Every structure is written in C-alpha cells, then in structure tokens.
Structure 1
C-alpha cells in the first residue's frame, strides 16, 4: 500500500509512510491516514518516496492546517536528495522539520 500509518499505544506519535510517487492519486489515502485521529506528533517517512508533486505539497499543507492547534511537531524524515530539494524550493522548512 502506498500510504500506511501507525500510531503508538499512548497516541503520542503518528507515523505515516509514503511509498513510490506522492501525487494526487494518494489524496484520499493520505487524508485517511490522519483524519479524526488523536496524536501529539507526526512523522512522515519518505524513505521509499520517489517523487513529490505539487498536489503532494498541497496535501502536506492541508495536514499542517488540520493539525495546527493539536500537534506539537510534524517531521518529514528520510527524504531523498530530489525530494528534499523540492521541499527546499517550496520553503517547507518554515512549516515542517525536514531531514
């Protein structure tokens, strides 16, 4: 499955994993991975993400907006050089912790 999620037992951390292309085709699955869930922090693991397009950037911004008042931190981790460059161009480091 291209989008999977896991939440810790104490609801402190939601981990979302994206495999392959992060594009419009994942919109419903991505939203379902966090919507109506209770958690303190979010980690988005992009270890196996090949491509991030503009709709993916929009989905991440929607997540940020959705979680703004309830989540302490959103981290995007394990980005490839190409994916990290897309985030740099979009200036996502101002809204997310990226590594």
Structure 2
C-alpha cells in the first residue's frame, strides 16, 4: 500500500511539474530567445495611437578595421513590431550580441 501511494504521489508530482514551472516564470524568463537580429521592419516613427511596437537599441561592438580590435564603434537599431513579445526577444538577441554602450537606449514602446 505504501509503495503504491508513493508511486501515485510521485506520478502526480511529475504531471504537475510543467504547470508549476509555467506559473513560476517571470516576464524576463518568458522572453522569446529565437528572434533574429533582423526581425521587425525598418520604419519611421509611427504616429501615436497606431498600436505599433517600436524597438530601439544603441550599443557598441568591436571595430577591427580601425584599430585592429582595440576600439569600439556605436551600433544603433530602430525597428517596428506587431507584438511586444517579438520586440523583447529582439532586444534580448541584440543585448546578447552587442555590448550596451555608455548612453544606453534600449526599449520597446507601444505607439
């Protein structure tokens, strides 16, 4: 009896594990991590109230041409997205690839 009860509880624990894991996720953990650096569309600043998500990123990367790898150059990106999740995943990708600069502009805003 004790072995079957233990097996039942163990089985229920394994079944409940994915539910517990999903409910315990923070917003940062829920960010899509497979979004391309080139995701979204190039665009001008959309008008307010349009519902378009605007992603902005400014950072630095190594510049091997000018100083044989000893200097950084600024990179800036401005993209438009249809969903906040895609924009946040895009920012995650850029922050993984580039170094955040001194004057950091990293945001996803709904217009």
Give me the TM-score of the superposition, normalised by structure 2: 0.28
Q: Which has the higher contact order (CA 8 A, sep 6+)?
A: 2
Select the structure of larger CA radius of gyration.
Answer: 2
TM-score by length of 1: 0.30
Q: Which has the higher strand share?
A: 1
